[in-house]
């Protein structure tokens, strides 16, 4: 949707309309498919975990289904929804010497296709709340002694916490505290350049 250019003699700026129109544009979802799949796989995994006994008596079928949903969620959030909804991206790369480097990126300048406030809120809420839910499942398993689900719940915590950590690092990239944690985690004395926030092109 094109914006009308207004010339106010001294100040030339884009006319974004009234405050109500601005609020509506902020609330608008520009990437509905990405927003849907950001929540679909992770919510489906939780719902399937809670109610899988209603649909199937096979533990293996439930286990594999939930693990697939968690894997799809990890891939889509890491490679698609983070880039589209909040302009962040992270990954690991191996250089020519065989050394592993973590790269964290953020868009420097917002574009027309940038996310709205609602999309960003949905992204971060989904990213934070779901690992908390899987952590609650972990403690419920320990108390109820249903240890056959333990490996699956640990996988859910691990996959979703990895994305949460990666995107927090993208958001706060360059801060000394995060860099120190990364250097301790991977056993390096000097933090590689790739752990600093890099602008997305």
- For 95-133, how does the pLDDT look when each residue is reduced to its tens digit (9 = 90+)? 888 788 888 888 765 544 456 788 889 999 999 999 999
Stated pTM of the model: 0.70
Summarize pLDDT for 144-180 with one digit per residue, the tens. 888 889 999 999 999 999 999 999 988 887 444 344 4
DSSP the chain: -PPEEEEETTEEEEE---HHHHHHHHH--S-HHHHHHHHHHHHHHHHHHHHHHHH-S-HHHHHHHHHHHHHHHHHHIIIIIHHHHTSEEEEEEE-TTS-EEEEEEEESS--TTPPPHHHHHHHHHHHHHHHHHHHHHHHHHHHHT-GGGHHHHHHHHHHHHHHHHHHHHHHHTT-HHHHHHHHHHTT-SS--GGGSEEEE-
Average pLDDT value for the chain: 77
Summarize pLDDT for 68-104 with one digit per residue, the tens. 999 999 999 999 999 888 889 888 888 888 788 888 8
């Amino acid at each position: 949707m094109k914006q009308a250019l207004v010339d106010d003699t001294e100040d030339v700026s884009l006319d974004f309309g009234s405050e109500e129109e601005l609020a509506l544009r902020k609330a608008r979802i520009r990437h509905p498919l990405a927003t849907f799949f950001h929540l679909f796989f992770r919510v489906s995994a939780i719902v399937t975990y809670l109610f899988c006994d209603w649909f199937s008596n096979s533990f293996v079928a439930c286990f594999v289904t939930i693990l697939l949903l968690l894997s799809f969620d990890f891939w889509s959030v890491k490679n698609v929804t983070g880039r589209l909804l909040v302009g962040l991206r992270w990954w690991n790369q191996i250089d020519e010497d065989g050394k592993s480097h973590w790269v964290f990126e953020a868009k420097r300048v917002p574009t027309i296709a940038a996310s709205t406030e609602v999309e960003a809120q949905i992204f971060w809420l989904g990213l934070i709340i779901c690992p908390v839910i899987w952590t609650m499942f972990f403690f419920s398993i320990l108390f109820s002694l249903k240890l056959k689900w333990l490996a699956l719940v640990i996988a859910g915590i691990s996959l979703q916490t990895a994305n949460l950590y990666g995107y927090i690092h993208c958001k706060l990239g360059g801060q000394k505290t995060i860099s120190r944690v990364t250097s301790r985690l991977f056993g390096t004395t000097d933090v590689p350049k790739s752990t600093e926030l890099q602008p997305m092109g």
